[in-house]
Structure formats: structure tokens, C-alpha cells
Amino acid sequence: MSDNGVSDNDISRRRLLATAGATGAAGLVLGGAGGAGVYAAATGSGASPDAKALASVGSTAAPFHGEHQAGITTPLQARGHLVAFDLAPGAGRKEAAALLRRWSAAARTMMAGEPFGDTDSGVALDAGPSSLTVTFGFGRTFFARTGLNSRRPAALDPLPDFSSDHLDARRSNGDLWVQIGADDALVAFHALRTIQREAGDAARVRWQMNGFNRSPGATAQPMTARNLMGQIDGTGNPKPSDADFDQRIFVPADGGAEGPEWMAGGSYAVVRRIRMLLDDWEKLARGEQEKVIGRKKSDGAPLTGGSETTELDLDKTGPDGKLVIPSNAHARISAPEQNGGAAMLRRPFSYHDGIGADGTPDAGLLFICWQADPLRGFVPVQRKLDRGDALSPFIRHEASGLFAVPGGARDGEYVGQRLLES
């Protein structure tokens, strides 16, 4: 996935936003995440004799401090919670700084597998860290409410209105965004409850969404996840081993064009709740589903042959002279080479929120993608999908958000300190 994207000098941000419109899922079938977590055994030679022994799942820990926040390149976790907050009336920069200080202290403690404070509920006792990550981001409205409009990144300009959106404003955007992931459901809930409690009087929950993925260890060898349509989901993701991975996903150390400098080491998260119209999808024969996607359902291989990781042969035709991968196949339209090299790291959770009043499942994807600039990642792909993605009739975008996720906190810092105290 080489980066030959459109130059900032060729297309202005304003014009791209004005002309963009999309109906697709922005690489919905490409949703896994690469990268290696940092592992720490919770038991060992120095452990207390009466300490509870932990399996590998429970003992795995991600670091709180670092160049980047955890939860971006951390391997997909089994459970996830997304929650957005709005600052309370009258709360400003001072209250926001105190809130991020509390939240960072809580995240640091819980990610180490330890209870937080004397009032800890005990829900996650005995579970270990279980790969817990807590990731914090700022929405566009946060900057006006804290008097920091002059420091708001241009990359937080509102996303365009895509032509098939059915967005619920009550479940979109927000001043603050928190992503929680863990490989144990109780650990994830404990983190969610602690973050909500520590918000105190400074912020109120705007919306919350809950998701899941395959449990680690369910297969003998790690495999790319599947989404609720049954498709292999994550094949085309950029990998941390790629030479240009950091350039595509993270804001450079000097802030660069994606700046400002307080965002160094950070990334921009686009969050979309994408409902899958599963009753309609499941009426299609497997062969028809594969034509919609452009890949085999069994192993994720392109219809043009090979294995899951084989490059798409977009020019190959069959005996009838027609393209083997149809012109409107999702994999074709969302491919980087079809979008000026646009790349984003897709790291979703599936969700199921019961059965709707019409008797259909309220289920789909909590789509989360990461990039150094959404106008060179998410938006170009959505713009291309607007021209006729075969997947569009089977999905519906119901909520949306865009958040600036600053770099990781250094030792002694809290997340966002370089914005709030400089």
C-alpha cells in the first residue's frame, strides 16, 4: 500500500470537503489492526505467594506512557466501549485539565492491572490487565468550550455530509472521546465505569457504544477477524512494519502540515456506527456476496485468485470478457491504488444492540480508523465509494465523529497536557 496520495498543494482542504460525498463503509471489510502489544507478566518470581495465577490473556499489558497512546496499534481486543462526553455548563480549560489528569491517572493504574483508589468497585479484581487500553481524544467543540480555538487543528474541520448518511446527532461527535478495549469483559466494564465516575461534575456522557471481536486464543494461530457479514475484515490494513506507516498514521514530531505541535505523535480518529442490514445481506447467495465484496468469503482471497494477502488483479477478466472483480466491488473501490494511495488504519469493533421495532437486528460495525490527516485517509475513500459501491445497499451510517487524539503522555504527564498547559 504505497502512498502516492494527492498533494496538499493540488487540492485544498475546503474544496475536498465541498466535493466529497459517500455512501460506503470506507473499507468496511478492511478493519483489523496490526502491531504488537507490550507484554508484561503479572505473576513471576517476584509475585506474592498468594497472588492469583493469570493466563496469558489476563497477564498481557499495554503501556500507558509512550510516543503514541495505546489502543491505536494495539492488537484488536475482545471487548470495547466507545464513549463521548460533553463538558458541563460552566466547565472550561481549568476543569478540562483537572479531568484529563484524573482520567490519565485512572487509565495508567488500570492498564497495569491494579485497582484505582480506595473506592474501586472490585469488578476487575483477579483479572489482571487483560490488554486494557484507554485512549483519549478531543472533538472540534472542545476547543471553543476551553478557549483554545486558536489551537484547534485544521484536520478537525467537519467531515462532509455523505449522501446516504442517516446520522443521529445525539450519538455523534462530542467534546471528548474515550476508546476502551480489553480482552476481558469485566476489565473493560470496570474501566468504563471508572472513567464515567471520574468525570464527576466536569463532563456528562453524550453517547456510549459497546462492541466485541473474536476472543484471543480462539484459533490456534492468529487470524484476521471477521465482521458480522462473515467477511474477513482487516486484510488490507497498513502494518507498523511498513516503511511509511508512521507517516500515514501519526502526526510528525514537529506537528507538520497536520499540526499543531501539541499533536506530535498523535492521530485522528474517525468513528462511524455502521448498521449492517443483515436480513437483506443474508438473502444473497454466497457467490453474490463475494461479487459485492470482491473477495472469497472462505479465506478472504481476491476473486482473481491466490491467498488472503495476494494483491488484487483489478484488470483480470473472465472467459466472458467481464472483470473478475466487478467494477463496483467494495474491495476494488476502496483499494488504495484506486484512491490516490489514501491509507488509514482500520480498527473496529462489531456490535449488536438487540432487535429493532421492525424485527430486524440492530447490528453492525463500530468503524474506527486512524490517520495523520482524515482528508488524506478517510475522506478520499468515502468520496470514491460515493460513485457506486455495491456494498452500499446493505449498510447504513447512523452516527459519526471526528477526534484529535494527541500523542502519548510522557512520564509525569497526563494526556493532553501539552495542549491544556502551554
Where in the sequence numbering do the catalytic residues fall?
A: 233
Determine the Cα–Cα distance for residues 53 and 326; give it in Å rounded to an integer. Answer: 53
Cα dist from 403 to 91, 176, 209, 238, 273, whole Å: 20, 8, 16, 20, 15
Determine the Cα–Cα distance for residues 194 and 192; give it in Å rounded to an integer. Answer: 5
Determine the Cα–Cα distance for residues 246 and 55; give it in Å rounded to an integer. Answer: 32
Q: Are 139 and 174 in contact (CB under 8 A)?
A: yes
Residue in the structure block whose three cell numbers are 456522557: 205
Three-class secondary structure assignment of the chain: CCCCCCCCCCCCHHHHHHHCCCCCCCCCCCCCCCCCCCCCCCCCCCCCCCCCCCCHHHHCCCCCCCCCCCCCCCCCCCEEEEEEEEECCCCCHHHHHHHHHHHHHHHHHHHCCCCCCCCCCCCCCCCCCCCCEEEEEECHHHHHHCCCHHHCCHHHCCCCCCCCCCCCHHHCCCCEEEEEEECCHHHHHHHHHHHHHHCCCCEEEEEEEEEECCCCCCCCCCCCCECCCCCECCCCCCCCCCCCHHHHHCCCCCCCCCCCHHHCCCEEEEEEEEEECHHHHCCCCHHHHHHHHCECCCCCCECCCCCCCCCCCCCCECCCCCECCCCCCHHHHHCHHHCCCCCCEECCEEEEEEECCCCCEEEEEEEEEEECCCCCCHHHHHHHHCCCCCCHHHEEEEEEEEEEECCCCCCCCCCCHHHHCC
Q: Which grid coordinates are listed for 32? A: 483489523
